[in-house]
């Protein structure tokens, strides 16, 4: 009988997994381990974006609010509004609006062909404030809001400005993606808000797509790019829209929206 890892003969003790046999020391090299306690997982476990987590360590109440990483009591941090955050996300948390952040989004919006024309007022708020400002039911986690102010003249409404509120304490990648999402809402409100061919779910899907595209072009860490791309599945966008734009670049997305406007 040979070890399924080193292929040397097994003389005494062994571990059997399925149809394979291993030396004890060889099995420990390849065994599935919990990403939290590092112990070998012998029973049920949870699959997460950050690794496997055994039942003993899994506790959804102490997962990072931003990235979803499972934490332990001695490794979690809390923000002022009681949100749990991991040490890695805490390294780049954003607590105030910086002009350089806004300039990054404006640069990519200009390249994509969707520059916002009206005035922008952007404010960082805590989670209770953000929830109070929200007037719509959210699928997933509320990270920001765009409130467009209209001036009615005759039978038409004209956009005068956009008030954007972003949750404070987000790591930089998530913050930039959220800012791009809400700014694209502003652009949509200026250009296609009352076009019946684009549903509310279509708009959310498009905003998440643009956020992903900004991050894909700006940062090397693909986690947040994938985060916004995958979160599109929270919305029931029309099949034709998803089939057409699922793998499109930012400028292609904007061109398609302009065609519908």
For residue 83, which of 208, 167, 181 has the smallest C-alpha distance?
A: 167
pTM equals 0.87
Count Cβ atoms below 10 Å from residue 51 Cβ, excluding itself. 15
Q: What angle do CA 138, 192, 255 make, to 5 degrees?
A: 105
Map tokens 């996300």 to a residue.
89
Q: What is the pLDDT along the chain (261 residues), one digit of tens a residue?
A: 899 999 999 988 899 988 899 999 999 999 999 999 999 998 899 998 889 999 999 998 999 999 999 998 888 899 999 999 999 999 999 999 999 999 999 999 999 999 999 999 999 999 999 988 887 666 567 899 999 998 876 667 788 999 999 999 999 999 999 999 999 999 999 988 666 678 889 999 999 999 999 999 997 678 999 999 999 999 999 999 999 999 999 999 999 999 887
Contact, 166 vs 175, CB < 8 A?
yes
Which residues on adjacent β-strands are paired with residue 123? Answer: 165
**Cα separations in angstroms, 52 against 22, 28, 30, 65:** 22, 16, 14, 18
Residue 204 φ then ψ, to 5°: -65, -40
Rounded-to-integer distance, Cα 111 and Cα 171, Å: 25
Rounded-to-integer distance, Cα 248 and Cα 253, Å: 6
**Cα separations in angstroms, 144 against 44, 138, 159:** 36, 11, 20
């Amino acid at each position: 009988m040979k070890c399924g890892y080193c292929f040397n003969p097994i003389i005494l003790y062994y571990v059997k997994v399925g149809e394979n046999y291993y030396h004890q020391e060889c099995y420990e090299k390849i065994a599935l381990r919990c990403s939290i306690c590092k112990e070998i997982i012998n029973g049920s476990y949870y699959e997460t974006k950050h690794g496997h987590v055994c039942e003993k360590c899994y506790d959804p109440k102490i997962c990072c609010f931003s990235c979803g990483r499972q934490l332990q009591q001695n490794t979690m941090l809390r923000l002022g509004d009681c949100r749990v955050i991991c040490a890695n996300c805490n390294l780049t948390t954003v607590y105030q609006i910086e002009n350089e952040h806004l300039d990054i989004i404006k640069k990519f919006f200009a390249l994509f062909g969707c520059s916002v024309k009206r005035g922008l007022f952007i404010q960082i708020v805590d989670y209770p404030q953000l929830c109070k400002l929200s007037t719509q039911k959210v699928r997933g986690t509320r990270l920001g809001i765009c409130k467009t102010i209209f001036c009615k003249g005759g039978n038409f409404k004209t956009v005068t400005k956009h008030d954007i509120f972003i949750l404070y304490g987000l790591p930089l990648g998530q913050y930039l993606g959220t800012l791009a999402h809400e700014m694209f809402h502003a652009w949509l409100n200026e250009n296609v808000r009352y076009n019946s061919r684009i549903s509310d779910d279509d708009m959310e899907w498009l905003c998440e797509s643009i956020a992903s595209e900004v991050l894909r072009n700006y940062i090397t860490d693909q986690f947040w790019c994938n985060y916004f791309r995958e979160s599109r599945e929270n919305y029931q966008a029309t099949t034709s829209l998803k089939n057409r734009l699922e793998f499109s670049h930012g400028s292609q997305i904007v061109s398609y929206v302009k065609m519908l406007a």
